[in-house]
Amino acid sequence: MRTHCLLLAALLSVSVGLSQAWGQSPAEPLFGTTSTPAEERARLISAPAPSVVDVAFQPPAPEPLSPTTSSTAAPMSQAGGAYQSAPGASIPAQYRTNTAALETALENYDDPGVGYVSYPDYAPIGYIPTDYQEAPGVSLYQPLSSPSMLAQNQGNLVLRGPVPGSFIVPGSTTAIRISGFVRIGQTFDFDAISTPDLFVTRAIAVPQFASQNTNFSARPTRLSLDTWTPTSFNDWMFHTFIQGDFLSGNPPAVGSSSNPRLRFAFVDFGYFRVGQDTTVFMDPSVFPRTADFQGPNGMVNSRQGLFRVTLPIGDRMRFAAAMEQPFSDITTLNEGVNVQDVPDFTSHLRYQADRYHFQASTILRAIGYRPDGEQVTRRGGWGVNLTSGFHPWAMLMHTNPIQDNDPDGLTRSRVLLQCALGQGIGRYIQDPSGIGLDGAVTANGGFETLPATSWTASYEHWYNRHWLSNFTFSSVDMGSTDALPATTFSSSKYLAASLWWVPVRNVSIGAEYLWGERQNLNGQQGRASRIQTVAQYNF
């Protein structure tokens, strides 16, 4: 007992010493830089918040502000941390409100990794991209601007952050942005399709029968939260992003309530991204602006857990690689179970310029199947996805849709292209995803992966800054085995033609005609058409 008491006393004395040391001001970091002397610090500028509707918004000439001294960090809270918190939650406030890290971030606000742009945020230099599946009322890219920094009043003033719509929390180095949109759509179906608020071509009835339906839905309504916190570790920025909508499951038969759905939840730190994000095999920037929220049937589109590394190669080129959540989406015919024990490996190389971009993506997979009472059989899967987006008229006229002030309609107009092919990649393509077409059993009890090919072409034509049209065509073709049922999905086509009106910033009103076709292995076909209208307000 005496030994136990002595040990307890020693632990208490060490704990007191550590708590006193922890309460002191932080020492010079091992990595990164400390605060720059006031006389050498870059002069920060103040510019009005950028417009969201104008792709090429140019802020007026900046006016320099006098450098100011750093504020004193707020005292550490006496309250204990919440239970189930991670160890980082107990870091003293002196570290979280380190103004040296904040000033470094603000001076380098448009530098990837250090400033408010993450390496996976593909955009022209000085801009940040908007999310894919956006209406045309918001621009493709939003310009960053240096905020005014009144450090001596940091504890009691809300400061505008560099990212449009963001603000720096008083007494903190963290910037926050709350964004999203409210979207209401109305559809009228001329033919039978089992998805009333999304035009999913694989859901077209085969054999076809007459069925008309009207539907109203606000389920795509979206809410997003960004945070940016500068750190002294290599001056890297810590960025978090969470986004959700209400497209969980099928729409209710009665009423209009819907359950929330998690779209994104990830953190960025330097070159690394961890969490739920779009697959690296996908190029979100070629997703066309259709009034139909589902989008083209042939788009590579998947969001899942991953660990991603993005490396810059010069100013305009990036290389990304990731380990991603596996899932063997196969048709077993109740003769075994699918197995997913090896991550999917994805990568891409991207070149980004103001008028165009190119991206080449690859994927390698191990698709597993365990027959009843036997060992696991694995088949390799692979895929290539080539994408590009470009402004053809801007290239011909030597205008710039990003840098020009108020570009004309032809300069804004663009072409989007995607072509994907591979073996065992069905779940990464919109139409065949989730219906067991990565692979299938054969008549002799074996197991094979299935070939898949998809392509999408879209032209977005702006008549002026308020009116535009979008024309999109997409196609998917899937392989088969000799054991698949005759009614299995084989191919589909998708056509969309829309007219959009952007009366004011952040408001988009559109009408669209949709046509689709599904074909089964036995050659039977079904076709459907729809009229879709939509109104969206971004905030």
Category of 246 on φ-ψ map: left (φ > 0), alpha (ψ -120 to 50) or beta: alpha
pLDDT at 61: 37
CATH number of 179-218+261-538: 2.40.160.10
Determine how many CB atoms are found less than 10 A away from the CB of residue 70.
17
The answer to whether residues 535 and 520 touch, using CB atoms and an 8 Å cutoff, is: no
Q: Which two tokens stand for residue 2?
A: 């005496």
pLDDT at 103: 79
Q: Is the peptide bond before 207 cis (omega within 30 degrees of 0)?
A: yes
Burial (CB count <10 Å: 0-12, 13-18, 19+), residue 525? middle
Burial (CB count <10 Å: 0-12, 13-18, 19+), residue 471? middle
Please give the Cα distance from 447 to 332 (Å, whole number): 9
**Among 132, 95, 115, CA closest to 42:** 115
Ranges of each domain in the chain? 179-218+261-538
Please give the Cα distance from 260 to 219 (Å, whole number): 9
> What is the residue whose two structure tokens read 């046509």?
515
CA dihedral (59, 146, 236, 171) positive or negative: negative
Opening angle at CA 304, ends 303 and 309, nearest 5: 100
Tell me the pTM: 0.79
pLDDT tens digits for the chain (539 residues)? Answer: 444 444 444 444 434 443 443 333 333 333 333 344 344 333 333 333 333 333 333 333 333 333 333 333 333 333 444 444 444 444 444 444 467 777 788 788 888 888 888 888 888 888 888 887 788 888 888 888 876 655 555 566 778 888 889 998 887 889 999 999 999 999 999 998 999 999 999 999 998 887 899 999 999 999 999 999 999 999 999 999 999 999 987 666 666 678 899 999 999 999 999 999 999 999 999 999 999 999 999 999 999 999 999 999 988 999 999 999 999 999 988 888 889 999 999 999 999 999 999 999 999 999 999 988 788 889 999 999 999 999 999 999 999 999 888 899 999 999 999 999 999 999 999 999 999 999 998 888 788 999 999 999 999 999 999 999 999 999 999 999 888 999 999 999 999 999 999 999 899 999 999 999 999 999 999 999 999 999 999 99
pLDDT at 252: 64
How distant, in Å, are the alpha carbons of 158, 176, 347, 382 from that of 172? Answer: 10, 11, 36, 46
pLDDT at 155: 61
353 SS3 class:
coil
pLDDT at 170: 84
pLDDT at 217: 92
Please give the Cα distance from 347 to 281 (Å, whole number): 6
pLDDT at 346: 99
